Amino acid sequence: MAPMNDPALARYARQIIYGGIGEAGQRALLNAQVTIIGAGATGSVLANHLARAGVGRLRLVDRDFVELNNLQRQLLYDEEDVTGMWPKAVAAARKLRRINSAIEIEDVVADVTPANISGFVADADVVLDGTDNFTTRYLINDVCVKLGKPWVYCGVIATYGMTMTIRPGVTPCLRCVVGELPAPGSVPTCDTAGIIGPIVTLMGSIAATEAIKLLVGQGTLNPGMIHVDLWDDSFDRFELGGRRPDCPTCGQHAYPFLNAEVGTRATTLCGREAVQVSVVGSQGLSLADLATRLQAAGAKTVRTNPFLLRAQIAGHEFTVFPDGRAIIKGTSDEAVAATLYARYVGM
């Protein structure tokens, strides 16, 4: 049967015509499994492209729910998702099933942790980064290197973004390139630096194309780190060199984030409707710099002394210590606290 007359292929006719994919590539996509960790801004772009491209099995993993301020850049969601208080993974899967009912879409509402991440990626052909914090990215990096899974890093903020394609055993891993976990408060977030929608769409599209090339086994993969700034009209690609023998992940195979030796940890504080979020291995932070950033982001009653910072943010009370530890009052949900910490402190 000719591809255009095959019901399983007909909807992808324009994609099959492109020589880089063809019928063989399309069938490879239909037989592929992709895990997308994070279904927010970049995650929704990634999921949208891959569902429309015909990736046969998509797994969406996200711990958050849809809020009104997401709609400016998170393309799979609408106001009904906000009023319905839908988790992002569920809302995204509902939309994608209406876009392509011929593929399998699994929605997982969960916080990605060292305890569960292997189960999310073990059967994936490619893993994609739709997250908003380096702790989770380093965890993805650890598990993908350990299991030999190619993955695509994608980060955006303000008007710029970066993406890198990682093939364990072939390219440097993310830890080789970035090094130690950035100190809490040292990395801007979209809640402190802002973000425009077009950079999300652009970087997510580049990362999705990398995933398609990996799955069909054709095309030239990004050999370095792509950096784009739409406001400055710049597009750069940086060479990364080789893998580092001293890299804890791909050089020494220690996998510190997967082994929960470093990274963000959240613990509910009994009887206080509060959660403590700690960053093991953190280099510490400047309370004065964090105070400035939080005030610019609209935090109320920001106060500091040499020992702590206290602020009212998004209806919660934050108490942050110089070692990066924070107590977040107003919730007993560890996933909510981890999301707030990533959003406003920046890990």
Domain boundaries, the chain: 32-238, 263-344
Strand partners, 127: 35, 151
For the cut 90, the answer to whether the pLDDT of residue 274 exceeds it is: no
For the cut 70, the answer to whether the pLDDT of residue 17 exceeds it is: yes
Average pLDDT over residues 279-287: 75
For the cut 90, the answer to whether the pLDDT of residue 77 exceeds it is: yes
How large is the greatest C-alpha to C-alpha distance in the chain, in angstroms? 74
Amino acid letter for position 305: N
Nearest to 291 by CA among 194, 195, 132, 185: 185
For the cut 80, the answer to whether the pLDDT of residue 279 exceeds it is: no
For the cut 60, the answer to whether the pLDDT of residue 2 exceeds it is: no
pLDDT confidence tier of residue 301, bands split at 50, 70 and 90: confident
pLDDT > 70 fraction of the chain, expressed in percent and rounded = 94
Catalytic residue among 176, 190, 247, 250: 190
Q: What is the model's pLDDT at position 92? A: 97
Q: What is the model's pLDDT at position 6? A: 83
Q: Are 139 and 255 in contact (CB under 8 A)?
A: no
Q: What is the model's pLDDT at position 46? A: 98
Q: What is the pLDDT of residues 138-193, one digit of tens each?
A: 999 999 999 999 999 999 999 999 999 999 999 999 999 998 887 766 777 776 78
Which is more confident, 3 or 61?
61
Rounded to 5°, angle at Cα 267 from 134 and 257: 35
CA distance 223 to 213: 13
pTM score of the predicted model: 0.82
Question: Cα 205 vs. chain centroid, distance in angstroms?
Answer: 14
Q: Are 166 and 210 in contact (CB under 8 A)?
A: no
Which is more confident, 133 or 79?
79
Q: Is 173 a catalytic residue?
A: no
Q: What is the pLDDT of residues 195-249, one digit of tens each?
A: 999 999 999 999 999 999 999 999 999 999 999 999 999 999 999 988 999 999 9
Q: What is the model's pLDDT at position 110? A: 84
CA distance 211 to 233: 25
Q: What is the model's pLDDT at position 270? A: 59
Say if domain 263-344 classifies as CATH 3.30.310.10.
yes
Q: Looking at the chain, list the stretches that DSSP marks H as alpha helix, in order from N- to C-terminal side.
A: 7-10, 13-17, 22-30, 41-53, 79-83, 88-99, 117-121, 134-147, 174-178, 190-193, 197-216, 287-296, 334-344
Which is more confident, 22 or 270?
22
Judged by average pLDDT, the poorest of 24-28, 92-96, 236-240, 271-275 is 271-275
CA distance 306 to 321: 9
The DSSP secondary-structure symbol of 195 reads: B
Which is more confident, 18 or 187?
18
Q: What is the mean pLDDT of the chain?
A: 91
Q: What is the model's pLDDT at position 273? A: 84
Say which CATH class 32-238 falls into: alpha beta
